[in-house]
A and B are shown apart, each in its own frame.
Chain A
């Protein structure tokens, strides 16, 4: 990269943390031996939880559907080992709260017998069929957002997206699972990208790879050589390059408006691992039941990438790679945006790109000082927000004030908190405020629903009372009529008598 390029391409936003990716990224991929027992969570994606369709005691094969998608935005769950369903119950969710969620427990028979339904030439079937097979394979965004991929395909097709952006940014420090998939399975990634292009009707695919991964760039260039529509584009290594809005801007120069989705500016972003999963689901008929997970951090003896069946307990994977010491902190995902975990008895889910086990030095959180209004956070913010202003308002409970500073545009990347010389937990304030605002919105909806229910009940009571009164009146009228009928003959005779 020449001097001028360097000058022109360097983004003005973001941060450049020490990436800690090597030596872990260079260690060849290890395969975890089939675990004895896996716990397949029913909600490993954004949207409705899947609904179990197996019974306790039932035998299942690897790749067999065990829970079907429920609702428009949802994804099915498949068995990641062959064996017997032994329970459907609660396990701890990979979530900072440590609350439980539902999972299907499968005891492995150790045979790993697959059920797969390959398709020799996916380009000969309709694009909708490709999307349908991806949906049936339970493919979700593997970059961490875990949005069901087929829903995104449909959106891209509807909005006539012309460019597919394949996200090989992987800007989070410590993580190298996408790097590994591009180095070892570049063919799968390129084939998956072509299948996604076919499914959404895009004419080109831009693969954005950060320039700190030269091996991945070389492998992808080689794999994409026969396909001129798949273009490999190295991008400067800068956090958060892997965020879709920042990658789109770097590759195409288009800025996604605040209240719009990427598809509305004519691009769709899919992660490289998602593309490989699409390849497996569509061409090989293998649903998403395994993934590459980076195991890294100061407490790990041999950091690197491990090929893991979904539903494996994190503790088992950590034991496989070996721990130097008891980790001071466990994180699912990267150090900037990852989820802190309370313990290691939590299953690996589709969105788990890495597990970080930090030692005491890495886990140290410096004490926060007062804001000196230096403005470092505003320079670092990739969304062009004013973190110091928003945090000052949230601190005194003025959430609406923070909202006026476009809090909802915050992507929670953590650049502001990273650069803050006073170590103010800026992004933590924003996460708190966004949660509170969502809760307030939910309360408002609940109040409205309550009113509707109360009115419906009042209307029902009124209707019932009216119907009762009407029925009573009708019965009375009938009684009167009957009485009149029995009483009538004498009256008529009398009348006749009178007239006679």
Chain B
């Protein structure tokens, strides 16, 4: 009896110390949920949330330091997805959701200063010095970084235009189903 108690105790001690060592040396430093949260964010590193980039915002979200409504370009859809992932309830009525937007250059006012091109996180603005700039719609993420730096207010945000390819049937309005 003493023998069995002793051997089990020894095994427990040995395995416990292995686990203890493993937890110290093989520990994952990053919270695994951070990567998942980061994948849900737009990834344009626009900085409108107040963090340096999307990775930092994801870290703050994982620690619970930031609200799920932090991402303006993501809008309601991103807030909902983040809330579902983190298992938190969120009041979306206060989120001003203008729907997905993209930047647009008013060509009459653009002076070709190149400032917007430099801040665009996805290189969605093309142009050259003293030439009218233009936004590549497919590449614009709607982060509005360019709007803030434009000296002549030639840049503005507009809702993504609906085209034949993007149009979808509305949900049938019905009292029952």
User: How far is it, in angstroms, between the C-alpha of A463 and the C-alpha of B123 when the chains are bound?
Assistant: 15
B162–A97 contact, CB under 8 A?
A: yes
Residues of B near A369 (CB, < 8 A) are: 176
Cβ-defined partner of A370 (8 Å) among B122, B139, B162, B176: B176
B162–A424 contact, CB under 8 A?
A: no
A447–B42 contact, CB under 8 A?
A: yes
B122–A432 contact, CB under 8 A?
A: no
B139–A95 contact, CB under 8 A?
A: no
- Of residues 443 through 458 on chain A, the ones whose CB sits less than 8 Å from some CB of chain B are 443, 447, 449-451, 453-454, 456-458
CB distance from A291 to the nearest CB of B (A): 21
- Of residues 147 through 185 on chain A, the ones whose CB sits less than 8 Å from some CB of chain B are none
A432–B175 contact, CB under 8 A?
A: no
B171 interface contact, C-beta 8 A: yes
User: How far is it, in angstroms, between the C-alpha of A392 and the C-alpha of B122 when the chains are bound?
Assistant: 41
B43–A457 contact, CB under 8 A?
A: no
Residues of A near B164 (CB, < 8 A) are: 93, 95, 97, 99, 101
B169 interface contact, C-beta 8 A: yes
Residues of A near B172 (CB, < 8 A) are: 368, 425, 428-429, 432
Cβ-defined partner of A424 (8 Å) among B121, B169, B174: B174
A454–B170 contact, CB under 8 A?
A: no
A111 interface contact, C-beta 8 A: no
A453–B123 contact, CB under 8 A?
A: yes
B167 interface contact, C-beta 8 A: yes
Cβ-defined partner of B122 (8 Å) among A93, A438, A457: A457
A475 interface contact, C-beta 8 A: no
User: How far is it, in angstroms, between the C-alpha of A9 and the C-alpha of B167 when the chains are bound?
Assistant: 40
CB 8 Å contact bits of A411-453 with B (1 = contact, 0 = none): 0000000000010110011011001101100110001011101
B43–A96 contact, CB under 8 A?
A: no
B167–A424 contact, CB under 8 A?
A: no
B4 interface contact, C-beta 8 A: no
B141–A391 contact, CB under 8 A?
A: no
B44–A432 contact, CB under 8 A?
A: no
B42–A450 contact, CB under 8 A?
A: yes
Q: Which of B45, B162, B168, B175 has the most CB of A within 10 A?
A: B168
B176–A432 contact, CB under 8 A?
A: no
User: How far is it, in angstroms, between the C-alpha of A261 and the C-alpha of B61 when the chains are bound?
Assistant: 45
B163 interface contact, C-beta 8 A: yes
B166 interface contact, C-beta 8 A: yes
CB distance from A346 to the nearest CB of B (A): 13
A395 interface contact, C-beta 8 A: yes
Q: A450-B44, A453-B122 are in contact. Are A392 and B169 (CB under 8 A)?
A: no
A87 interface contact, C-beta 8 A: no
CB distance from B155 to the nearest CB of A (A): 18
CB distance from A217 to the nearest CB of B (A): 37
B124 interface contact, C-beta 8 A: yes
B139–A453 contact, CB under 8 A?
A: yes
- Of residues 269 through 319 on chain A, the ones whose CB sits less than 8 Å from some CB of chain B are none
B177 interface contact, C-beta 8 A: yes
User: How far is it, in angstroms, between the C-alpha of A422 and the C-alpha of B121 when the chains are bound?
Assistant: 52
Residues of A near B120 (CB, < 8 A) are: 457
User: How far is it, in angstroms, between the C-alpha of A454 and the C-alpha of B45 when the chains are bound?
Assistant: 7
Cβ-defined partner of A99 (8 Å) among B141, B167, B174: B167
CB distance from A200 to the nearest CB of B (A): 30
A488 interface contact, C-beta 8 A: no
* Identity of the chain A residue whose Cβ is nearest the Cβ of B141 in the assembled complex: A450
Q: Which of B138, B171, B177 has the most CB of A within 10 A?
A: B177
* Identity of the chain B residue whose Cβ is nearest the Cβ of A424 in the assembled complex: B177
Cβ-defined partner of B170 (8 Å) among A370, A395, A432, A443: A432
B168–A438 contact, CB under 8 A?
A: yes
Cβ-defined partner of A453 (8 Å) among B124, B166, B168: B124
A371 interface contact, C-beta 8 A: yes
User: How far is it, in angstroms, between the C-alpha of A153 and the C-alpha of B68 when the chains are bound?
Assistant: 52
B167–A97 contact, CB under 8 A?
A: yes
Residues of B near A439 (CB, < 8 A) are: 166, 168
* Identity of the chain A residue whose Cβ is nearest the Cβ of B74 in the assembled complex: A447
CB distance from A414 to the nearest CB of B (A): 13
A429–B123 contact, CB under 8 A?
A: no
* Identity of the chain B residue whose Cβ is nearest the Cβ of A93 in the assembled complex: B164
CB 8 Å contact bits of B67-101 with A (1 = contact, 0 = none): 00000000001000000000000000000000000
Residues of B near A97 (CB, < 8 A) are: 162, 164, 167
User: How far is it, in angstroms, between the C-alpha of A369 and the C-alpha of B44 when the chains are bound?
Assistant: 47
B166–A431 contact, CB under 8 A?
A: no
User: How far is it, in angstroms, between the C-alpha of A150 and the C-alpha of B52 when the chains are bound?
Assistant: 52
User: How far is it, in angstroms, between the C-alpha of A167 and the C-alpha of B169 when the chains are bound?
Assistant: 29
CB distance from B72 to the nearest CB of A (A): 15
Residues of B near A431 (CB, < 8 A) are: 169
Residues of A near B141 (CB, < 8 A) are: 450
Cβ-defined partner of B169 (8 Å) among A96, A101, A371, A453: A96
A425–B42 contact, CB under 8 A?
A: no
* Identity of the chain B residue whose Cβ is nearest the Cβ of A96 in the assembled complex: B169
**11 residue pairs from A and B, CB less than 8 Å apart:** A97-B162, A368-B175, A371-B177, A395-B174, A395-B177, A424-B174, A438-B168, A450-B43, A450-B139, A451-B43, A454-B44
Nearest 8 A/B pairs, CB to CB:
A435-B168, A370-B176, A453-B122, A451-B43, A431-B169, A395-B177, A425-B172, A428-B172
* Extra A-B contacts (11), CB below 8 Å, given A435-B168, A435-B169: A95-B167, A368-B172, A368-B174, A429-B172, A432-B172, A449-B138, A449-B139, A450-B122, A454-B43, A457-B121, A460-B123
Please give the residue numbers on chain A whose beta carbons come within 8 Å of chain B beta carbons, in ascending order.
93, 95-97, 99, 101, 368-371, 391-392, 394-395, 422, 424-425, 428-429, 431-432, 435-436, 438-439, 442-443, 447, 449-451, 453-454, 456-458, 460
Please give the residue numbers on chain B whose beta carbons come within 8 Å of chain A beta carbons, in ascending order.
42-45, 77, 120-124, 138-139, 141, 162-164, 166-172, 174-177
